[in-house]
Structure 1
Amino acid sequence: MTYAARRPTGSYSVRSYTDIGLETQVLGASPERLISLLYMGARAAIGQARLHLQEGRTMERGAALSKAIKIVDEGLKTGLNMEAGGEIAANLARLYDYIVRTLLLANLRADAEALETADRLLADLAEAWQTSIDRSAGDVLP
């Protein structure tokens, strides 16, 4: 096999550079920024699933939704501090469970509306998170 035969193609190369860029963001991110990146990642995976749904690519849709579910369940939900967060953390945990169920059903039923519901909830949570971070940063600054 020659070198030319092993060279990555265009989309593979772009994906590799994208993955490296994301890894660099994650490694240098504050805990607050990591939460924002998780929201962005989950929403991006839902966006990919939406495109796969429109194109009839069932396996790819399932893979994208599995990624979104993993981000919500293992990233956002697991990151909750249930002791310090009290009722707010408990409510968020229940909301994350609802989002995961919605995504599972969206995949099983090929339901674009369920994808939209989950994405809208994550968008609202991401906006609220960013607002709280901005306020906290404003409190610290003189």
Structure 2
Amino acid sequence: MFGTSYANRASAYARVGTETSVDAASPHKLILMLYDGALLALGTALVAVRNKDIPTKGQSISKAINIIDNGLKVSLDMNAGGELAGRLHALYEYMSERLLYANLHSSEAALNEVIGLLTSLREAWAGIADQATA
């Protein structure tokens, strides 16, 4: 009984910590958090594919797709971003399609491809942190 209560309290504490981080984060930091969340979900999916853990694979890939479609893609300003925003939008679409493929076929190659793309974008975004705060 104590274990369940402790687990619930720990989970609640983690949620509060995450919510506090989100509330205090700059728009630039929020995008980094989205990249990190998608990469974490895809790392979990990759391990699940290797372990033939179908439920975890599906949940993790779905979470990554949700972050890409409803976080990263939605955050694009198509008017102000011009051609770059359009290209990122198309790249996010491509990533979601590859993740659907990865889920259907348990494809490590497709997961690794998207992980590589997201990692490159995350590094580039992190590299402009000084410009974003100026």
Counterpart in 2 of 1:107?
Answer: 103
Question: What RMSD, in angstroms, separates the aligned Cα atoms of the two structures?
Answer: 1.9
Query: Counterparts in 2 of 1:120-139, with a 5 A limit?
Result: 120-137=116-133
Q: Which amino acid aligns with 2:22?
A: V
**Equivalence for 1:98:** 94
Measured against aligned partners, the alpha-carbon deviations of 1:13-49 in whole angstroms (never above 9, x if no partner) come to 6554433322221111111110000000000000111
Aligned length: 134
Query: Which 10-residue stretch deviates more, 121-130 or 16-25?
Result: 16-25
Q: Quote the Cα distance in structure 1 between the aligned partners of 2:56 and 2:4.
A: 24
**Do 2:61 and 2:103's aligned partners in 1 also have CA atoms closer than 8 Å?**
yes
Counterpart amino acid of 1:117? Answer: E
Gaps of 5+ in 1: none
Does 2:34 align with 1:7? no
The match for 2:75 among 79, 84, 97 is 79
- Deviations 1:65-99, CA, capped at 9 Å, x for gaps: 00000000110001100000000000000000011
Separation in 2 of the partners of 1:34 and 1:124?
A: 17
The aligned residue for residue 32 of structure 1 is 28
Any gaps of 5 or more consecutive residues in structure 2? none
Instruction: Provide TM-score, normalisation by structure 1.
Output: 0.86
Equivalent AA in structure 1 for residue 36 of structure 2: M
**What does residue 61 of structure 2 align with?**
65
User: Which is higher, the Rg of structure 1 or of structure 2?
Assistant: 1
State the alpha-carbon separation in 1 of the partners of residues 10 and 64 from structure 2: 21
Q: Is residue 44 from structure 1 mapped to residue 40 from structure 2 by the alignment?
A: yes
CA separation in 1, counterparts of 2:64 and 2:21?
19
